[in-house]
Amino acid sequence: MAKLSLKHIYKVYPNGVKAVNDFCMEIADKEFIVFVGPSGCGKSTMLRMIAGLEDISAGELSIDDLVVNDVEPKDRDIAMVFQNYALYPHMTVYENIAFGLRARKMPNDEIHERVLHASEILGIKEYLTRKPKEMSGGQRQRVSLGRAIVRNPKVMLLDEPLSNLDAKLRTQMRAEILKLHAQLKTTFIYVTHDQVEAMTMGTRIVVMKNGFVQQIDTPKNLYLYPGNKFVAGFIGTPQMNFFEGTMKKNGDKVDIVFKYSDASISVPYEQLIKVRPGYLDGNKEVFIGVRAEDMTLEPSVVVESPYKIKVVVSHVEELGDESLVYGDINMGGDGYVESSTRVIIKTTFNGEFVPGNVYEAAVNVSKLHFFDKETEETIVPRLPEINDVECTVKEGKLNFSGISVQLPPALMCGDGQGKMLLPSNAISFDGDIKTNVVDCEKISDKYLVSFETGGRRMFAVTDTEVPRGEAHISIDFKRITLCVGETIIEPMEELVRLEGTFDKVKEKVVENKSGTRKTVKKVNFYLNINGVKFPSPEYISQKIFATLSPRSVFSSRFYYDFTPYTVRIADSGIEGTVEGVSDYGKEKFLRVRVTDKTVNVFTEGPVTGKVFIMPDFDKAGIVEADRGIKLI
Ligand code: ADP
């Protein structure tokens, strides 16, 4: 039984390879977590860091609230199962299973009991006197599982345990490992490059690529809501079809135009309401993702569907109960090679598809995926970040979707019309603007609240549930972007990033020991920002020393990150000059010039001229600047 906390974990190998970057995850007790990704993505490195077989370059690993970065592997209460079984060939199965317990000097009768129990669970009781070479691959892997089980570990780590087995045995062992997980009631972390294994086994899956976590989610959510094109393509067989194209809003419809083909479909805007602003102008190129199972060639469905695309069929793969029809949405295209127009359609329809013939396929538009052409990130986030709203400003009042509110001084601008980008996290349900909540959906640890005003649907993201029906909102004006006429007012910068160093100072201190005063030399550590030294809290010094080599600690540069609320004006601290005040109505912020940059500081009252800023280091984020490693 164990929960694990992985905070900003990095692995930089001595040869400079950054195998794992900023891995953050909380793993609950009894979860079955799968790390999946192509070869070389860093999944084994991450697992080996959890096991203690590999040093953690930066970050913090805790098991049951105890930081274990420096705890020896044998003291972590973790058992690991490897792909190559790692059995001792000269020992019997019994002795292989008992080996770890003997090394721990466990009494013989207890060892015996545990070995028998494990071999029973794994169905290898009758092989206990055999040597590993007298057993099949599947049986050997059971022995190595047995060796892990007998230790009653808090966490079971499995590194591609089924890769050496044939397909049939792999399926069987998959089920056995799941049963084992249910029986042992402990936390499992399982590494595989096989997405089917990941999808069928994990309660949650971590998809990795090039050392970076791409997405952490349940199998179902990864399938339904892939966060980027890589995850979309990695999860599911056959791979999702990716086309290139554009989207153009046209009244209450959106025209989706497929590039390199004559295909286009017109979808109700309602279906695409969560699309990030800026992608519906008909110019910005996107990837359009459609799974093979979200298209159909069944004539009775196609005839009814308003969303049809022509496909020239190249060949068909019969899978028995279903077929994969390969084709192209470009009538001159070739369905044999992957391209921006090649399409694979999964079908259970029993008709004939003649190569070279053109058929109509219907698209399930509620299952479409869209990704940015450059970043390949989804442009339809589950939690939409922005509401793109048309607005007017008249005599200091902002009018949009039937709402009229007074603009605060910081956003004051001339009359005109334009638009506002209203972030979903800038809306809270504690104000006096009347709206109507039509839906509230829990997504991870947040709530997506859909509300309507002036006939328009908008989104807010909140930490607590909001009941349906009449509701009153307020707007956090410092987060909005307002474009009216020629004026563009950007959101307030909420990051206060100060640059500095970590210093060592030898100091003489007077100690009073049993009545005698003595001067002793002591080394103290300071966080230095613009020459102002702040005593470094013990835990911050420890984190910095744990992450950086002793040689580079005092020559490294750091970003000390705060928010406008975690720095304050004080009698001493970092010197700055007040340039002005941003008045957002409910809240006011000073714009303070500190050397070459301006930062925003929350203020209760008016302040001018020279000031000192006192940061609250207990609430700081700390980043090693050169390699961009997050320490806290
Ligand atoms: P995966 O398990 O996903 O296949 P690994 O965690 O084994 O990937 O490797 C991640 C990256 O780190 C790869 O680029 C690999 O070449 C590199 N790597 C792994 N082990 C070492 C090592 N001991 N020294 C240097 N580079 C390594």
The first and second tokens of residue 404, run together, are: 């009229």
Q: Is the CB of 17 under 6 A from ligand 1?
A: yes
* Ligand 1 site-directed mutation target among 9, 17, 50, most atoms within 8 Å of CB: 17
Q: Is the CB of 210 under 6 A from ligand 1?
A: no
Q: Residue 367 has what DSSP assignment?
A: G
- Report CA(195)–ligand 1 centroid distance (Å): 19
Q: What would the pLDDT profile of 226-252 be if each residue is shown by its tens digit? A: 999 999 999 999 999 999 999 999 989
Predicted pLDDT of residue 58:
87
Q: What would the pLDDT profile of 64-97 be if each residue is shown by its tens digit? A: 989 999 899 988 989 998 887 788 889 999 999 9
- Report CA(19)–ligand 1 centroid distance (Å): 6
Torsion of CA 33, 38, 44, 49, to 10 degrees: -80
Nearest residue CA, atom 27 of ligand 1?
13
Q: Is the CB of 160 under 6 A from ligand 1?
A: no
The whole-angstrom separation of Cα 527 and Cα 537 is 9
Position in ligand 1 atom list of the atom nearest CA 38: 3
Nearest residue CA, atom 20 of ligand 1?
45
Nearest residue CA, atom 23 of ligand 1?
13
Q: What would the pLDDT profile of 570-602 be if each residue is shown by its tens digit? A: 999 999 999 999 999 989 999 999 988 999 999
The whole-angstrom separation of Cα 151 and Cα 477 is 57
Has residue 538 got a pLDDT over 80?
Answer: yes
Has residue 392 got a pLDDT over 90?
Answer: yes
Task: Mention every residue, 6+ apart, whose C-beta is less than 8 A from residue 447.
Answer: 440, 441, 461, 462, 463, 464, 465, 466
How far is the CA of 553 from the CAs of 67, 548, 549, in angstroms? 22, 6, 6
Position in ligand 1 atom list of the atom nearest CA 42: 6
Is-contact 267 305, C-beta < 8 A? Answer: no
Q: How confident is the model at residue 30 (pLDDT cuts 50, 70, 90)?
A: very high
Q: Is the CB of 42 under 6 A from ligand 1?
A: yes
Is-contact 375 366, C-beta < 8 A? Answer: no
Residues facing 529 on adjacent strands: 500, 532
- Report CA(173)–ligand 1 centroid distance (Å): 26
- Once rounded to an integer, what is the mean pLDDT over residues 381-385? 93
Has residue 515 got a pLDDT over 80?
Answer: no
- Once rounded to an integer, what is the mean pLDDT over residues 541-560? 86
* Ligand 1 site-directed mutation target among 45, 57, 212, 214, most atoms within 8 Å of CB: 45
Has residue 275 got a pLDDT over 90?
Answer: yes
Listed in sequence order, the DSSP H helices in 316-412 are: none
Predicted pLDDT of residue 125:
87
How far is the CA of 48 from the CAs of 174, 288, 341, 631, in angstroms? 22, 37, 42, 21
Predicted pLDDT of residue 359:
96
Q: Is the CB of 40 under 6 A from ligand 1?
A: yes
The 3-state secondary structure of 473-533, one letter per residue? EEECHHHCEEEECCEEECCCCCCEEEEEEEEEEEEEEEEEECCEEEEEEEEEEEEEECCEE
The first and second tokens of residue 307, run together, are: 């969303």
Task: Mention every residue, 6+ apart, whose C-beta is less than 8 A from residue 186.
Answer: 1, 2, 30, 153, 154, 155, 156
Predicted pLDDT of residue 157:
95
Q: Tokens 């309602």 sit at which residue? A: 270
Whole-prediction pTM value? 0.87
Q: What would the pLDDT profile of 110-150 be if each residue is shown by its tens digit? A: 999 999 988 888 888 889 999 988 888 888 888 988 988 88
- Report CA(211)–ligand 1 centroid distance (Å): 9
- The percent of the chain in helix, strand and coil, each rounded to the nearest 5, is 20, 45, 35
Name the percent of the chain lying above pLDDT 90.
71
Whether the CA torsion 350, 196, 205, 186 is positive or negative: it is positive
Q: How confident is the model at residue 522 (pLDDT cuts 50, 70, 90)?
A: confident
Nearest residue CA, atom 12 of ligand 1?
19
Least confident stretch, 34-38, 169-173, 234-238, 423-427: 169-173
Q: What is the mean pLDDT of the chain?
A: 92
The whole-angstrom separation of Cα 485 and Cα 418 is 6
Least confident stretch, 43-52, 187-196, 332-341, 371-380: 332-341
Has residue 507 got a pLDDT over 90?
Answer: no
Q: What would the pLDDT profile of 485-495 be if each residue is shown by its tens digit? A: 889 999 999 99
HSE-up of 483 (CA within 13 Å, CB side)? Answer: 8
Task: Give backbone dihedrals phi and psi of 568, rounded to 5 degrees, phi first.
Answer: -145, 160
Highest mean pLDDT among 123-127, 146-150, 191-195, 604-608: 191-195
- Once rounded to an integer, what is the mean pLDDT over residues 556-569? 95
Give the DSSP letter string of 422-449.
EEGGGEEEEEEEEEEEEEEEEETTEEEE
Predicted pLDDT of residue 1:
67
The residue among 75 and 349 whose pLDDT is bigger is 75
Task: Give backbone dihedrals phi and psi of 224, rounded to 5 degrees, phi first.
Answer: -80, -35
- Once rounded to an integer, what is the mean pLDDT over residues 267-282? 91
Predicted pLDDT of residue 152:
86
The whole-angstrom separation of Cα 282 and Cα 377 is 19
